[in-house]
C-alpha cells in the first residue's frame, strides 16, 4: 500500500495542472501589462506633444503675406518634462518650411484641421514620436494653411512604459508565487486524509479488521466505505471459519470416539457374532460421519459462496427440477410426490448452485423426517412453486413450499431449528443438524425468508420466499 515510488501521483498531477494554470495566467497578465504600459506612456506624453504643437500653432500669424512665428517658450520647455529627450519642431506652409527643422519626416497623411496626427518615424537615427497639427491662418490680406510638426525622442516614454511593466511584473511575480504556494498548500491539505488513511492502515496489526475510524472527505467516503465493507466481510468470514472449524472438530470428535470404542470392543471380542455386530455399528457410525462431513462441506461451500454474492438471473423452476432429480433416490421405491409449479416465469437473482443446494436440503429433510408416524395419515410430499405479492423492494416474491406429513416441529424447537448442529428433539438419527441452518444461510444471503409452520393433521410446511427479479 505504501510503495515509495508510485508510477502515478495525484499530487504531481494537481501541482502540474494548477501550476501551469497560474503560470499561463501570469504570462497573460504580463502581456496585458506591457501593452497597457506602452499605451499609457504614449498617451501621457502625447498630451504634452499635442499641447506643444497647438501652442506653436497659436503663435503662427500671416502679416503682409509673410508668415510670422513667435515660438512660445513654454512650447519646447514643456517637453523638458521628458528630461532626456530631444525635441524637434517645424512650421511649414504649402510652399515649404517656415522655420524649425526643415528635414523632419513627413506625416503618413496630411493632418486634418483640428485633428492632431500622431506617428512614429526615424529621425537622426532615433525612433521619434511626432505630432502634426494643421492650422488655417487668415491675415488681413491673405490666408493660408500652416502645418506645425513637433517631435520628441522616446526615451521618457520607454522609461515610463518599462517602469509600469516592472511594477506590474513585481506584482505578477508576487501574485504567482502566492498562487503557487496556495496551490501547494491546498494540494497538500487536500491529500492529507489520504496520507492519514494510508498511515492508519499500514500501522495496523494484520488481524485488526476494525472499520477505519473518523470522518473522511466526501470524495473518499465511497472508497473508505467499500474498504470497511470489505474488511467487515473478511472479519465475518474469518469468524465463521473459526466457528466452523471449532464446530466441525467438536462434531467429529464424538463419532470418532464411538468408532474407536466400537473398534476396541470388536478387537476384544472373541465371539464372531459379537464382532459382526460391532462392525455393523462401526459401519453405521462411519456412514453418519460421512454424511456429517458432506453436510459440513456443503455448509462451508454455502458460507463461502454466499459471501461471494456472485448472483445472476436464474430460473427457479428449472432449479427445482434439477434438485428433485438429484434428491430423489434413483434406486429403491420412488417416494410419493406431488409437484405444482406456476406457469409464470419465476426468475430470481441468485447463485444457482446455492439455491439448488437449499432446495435439495429441503427435499432431503422432507423425505427423511416427513414420513408419517405409525398410526397417522400419510400422503404425498407436496412441493409448490408460486408467485406472490412482493415484500420489501421487490414487486413480487417467488414462493416455494414443501409440505410433508411428518411429525412437524415442536414449538420449543421452532426458534433453534435453524441454528447449526441443532436438531429436533425427536429427530431421526443420521442428521447432523445442519440442513435447515444451511437453507437459512442461503436464503438470507439472497435477501429472502424461510418460515416453518405445522399443518393441520400433522406435517411440516417449509415456506421459502425469494424476491423475484423483474422479467
Sites of contact with another protein (CB under 8 A): 68-73, 75-77, 79-80, 83-88, 98-101, 124-126
Q: What's the rounded Cα separation, in Å, for the pair 266 and 272?
A: 9
Instruction: Report how far Cα 234 is from the mean position of its chain's Cα atoms.
Output: 23
At closest approach, how far in Å is the CB of 69 from another protein? Answer: 5
User: For residues 83 and 374, which CB has a smaller minimum distance to another protein in the complex?
Assistant: 83
At closest approach, how far in Å is the CB of 90 from another protein? Answer: 11
Cell of 189: 491539505
At closest approach, how far in Å is the CB of 53 from another protein? Answer: 14
Q: What's the rounded Cα separation, in Å, for the pair 223 and 208?
A: 18
Q: Are 397 and 377 in contact (CB under 8 A)?
A: no
* 365: CB partners within 8 A, 6+ apart: 402, 435, 436, 462
At closest approach, how far in Å is the CB of 156 from another protein? Answer: 11
Cell of 71: 515660438
Q: Are 360 and 327 in contact (CB under 8 A)?
A: yes
User: For residues 69 and 106, which CB has a smaller minimum distance to another protein in the complex?
Assistant: 69
At closest approach, how far in Å is the CB of 101 from another protein? Answer: 8
Q: Would you report the helix, strand and coil content of the chain in percent, each value rounded to 5?
A: 50, 20, 30
* 320: CB partners within 8 A, 6+ apart: 339, 341, 359, 383, 385, 400
Name residue 313's beta-bridge partners: 349
Q: What's the rounded Cα separation, in Å, for the pair 384 and 346?
A: 12
Q: Which residues of 18-35 are buried (b: 16+ CB within 10 A; e: fewer)?
A: bbeebeeebeebbeebbe
At closest approach, how far in Å is the CB of 143 from another protein? Answer: 19
User: For residues 102 and 457, which CB has a smaller minimum distance to another protein in the complex?
Assistant: 102
User: For residues 83 and 375, which CB has a smaller minimum distance to another protein in the complex?
Assistant: 83
User: For residues 150 and 432, which CB has a smaller minimum distance to another protein in the complex?
Assistant: 150
Q: Cα dihedral sign for 241, 245, 250, 252? A: positive
Q: What's the rounded Cα separation, in Å, for the pair 454 and 437?
A: 18
User: For residues 27 and 124, which CB has a smaller minimum distance to another protein in the complex?
Assistant: 124
Place of cell 467487515: 232
Burial class (CB in 10 A: 0-12, 13-18, 19+), 285: buried
At closest approach, how far in Å is the CB of 129 from another protein? Answer: 14
At closest approach, how far in Å is the CB of 80 from another protein? Answer: 4
At closest approach, how far in Å is the CB of 61 from another protein? Answer: 11
Cell of 318: 428449472
Cell of 457: 393433521
Q: What's the rounded Cα separation, in Å, for the pair 159 and 127?
A: 14
Cell of 386: 408460486
User: For residues 85 and 404, which CB has a smaller minimum distance to another protein in the complex?
Assistant: 85
Alpha helices in 269-350 (DSSP H): 272-308, 316-327
At closest approach, how far in Å is the CB of 41 from another protein? Answer: 19
User: For residues 101 and 184, which CB has a smaller minimum distance to another protein in the complex?
Assistant: 101
Amino acid at each position: 500500500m505504501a510503495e515509495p515510488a508510485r508510477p502515478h501521483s495525484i499530487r504531481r498531477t494537481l501541482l502540474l495542472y494548477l501550476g501551469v494554470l497560474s503560470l499561463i495566467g501570469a504570462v497573460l497578465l504580463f502581456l496585458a501589462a506591457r501593452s497597457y504600459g506602452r499605451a499609457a506612456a504614449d498617451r501621457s506624453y502625447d498630451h504634452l506633444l499635442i499641447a506643444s504643437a497647438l501652442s506653436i500653432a497659436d503663435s503662427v500669424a500671416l502679416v503682409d503675406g509673410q508668415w510670422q512665428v513667435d515660438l512660445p517658450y513654454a512650447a519646447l520647455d514643456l517637453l523638458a518634462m521628458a528630461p532626456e529627450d530631444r525635441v524637434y519642431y517645424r512650421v511649414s506652409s504649402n510652399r515649404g518650411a517656415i522655420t524649425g527643422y526643415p528635414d523632419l519626416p513627413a506625416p503618413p497623411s496630411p493632418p486634418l484641421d483640428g485633428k492632431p496626427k500622431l506617428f512614429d518615424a526615424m529621425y537622426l537615427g532615433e525612433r521619434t514620436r511626432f505630432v502634426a497639427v494643421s492650422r488655417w491662418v487668415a491675415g488681413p490680406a491673405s490666408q493660408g494653411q500652416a502645418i506645425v510638426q513637433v517631435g520628441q525622442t522616446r526615451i521618457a516614454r520607454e522609461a515610463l512604459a518599462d517602469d509600469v511593466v516592472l511594477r506590474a511584473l513585481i506584482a505578477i511575480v508576487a501574485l504567482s508565487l502566492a498562487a503557487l504556494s496556495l496551490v501547494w498548500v491546498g494540494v497538500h491539505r487536500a491529500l492529507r486524509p489520504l496520507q492519514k488513511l494510508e498511515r492508519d492502515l499500514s500501522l495496523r496489526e494484520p488481524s485488526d479488521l476494525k472499520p477505519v475510524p473518523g470522518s473522511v472527505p466526501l470524495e473518499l467516503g465511497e472508497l473508505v466505505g467499500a474498504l470497511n465493507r470489505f474488511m467487515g466481510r473478511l472479519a465475518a468470514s474469518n469468524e465463521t471459519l473459526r466457528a466452523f472449524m471449532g464446530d466441525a472438530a467438536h462434531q467429529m470428535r464424538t463419532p470418532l470416539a464411538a468408532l474407536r470404542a466400537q473398534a476396541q470392543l470388536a478387537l476384544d471380542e472373541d465371539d464372531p457374532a459379537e464382532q459382526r455386530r460391532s462392525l455393523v455399528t462401526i459401519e453405521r457410525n462411519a456412514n453418519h460421519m460421512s454424511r456429517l462431513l458432506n453436510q459440513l462441506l456443503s455448509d462451508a461451500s454455502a458460507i463461502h459462496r454466499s459471501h461471494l454474492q456472485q448472483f445472476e438471473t436464474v430460473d427457479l423452476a428449472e432449479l427445482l427440477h434439477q434438485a428433485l432429480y438429484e434428491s430423489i433416490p434413483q434406486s429403491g421405491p420412488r417416494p410419493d410426490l406431488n409437484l405444482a409449479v406456476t406457469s409464470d416465469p419465476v426468475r430470481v437473482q441468485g447463485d444457482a448452485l446455492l439455491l439448488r443446494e437449499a432446495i435439495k436440503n429441503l427435499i432431503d429433510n422432507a423425505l427423511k423426517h416427513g414420513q408419517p408416524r405409525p398410526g397417522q395419515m400419510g400422503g404425498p410430499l407436496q412441493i409448490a412453486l408460486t408467485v406472490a405479492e412482493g415484500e420489501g423492494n421487490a414487486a413480487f416474491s417467488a414462493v416455494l413450499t414443501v409440505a410433508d406429513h411428518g411429525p412437524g416441529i415442536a414449538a420449543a424447537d421452532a426458534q433453534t431449528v435453524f441454528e447449526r448442529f441443532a436438531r429436533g428433539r425427536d429427530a431421526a438419527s443420521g442428521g447432523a443438524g445442519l440442513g435447515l441452518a444451511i437453507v437459512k444461510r442461503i436464503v438470507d444471503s439472497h435477501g429472502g425468508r424461510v418460515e416453518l409452520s405445522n399443518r393441520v393433521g400433522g406435517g411440516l410446511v417449509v415456506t421459502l420466499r425469494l424476491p423475484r427479479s423483474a422479467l
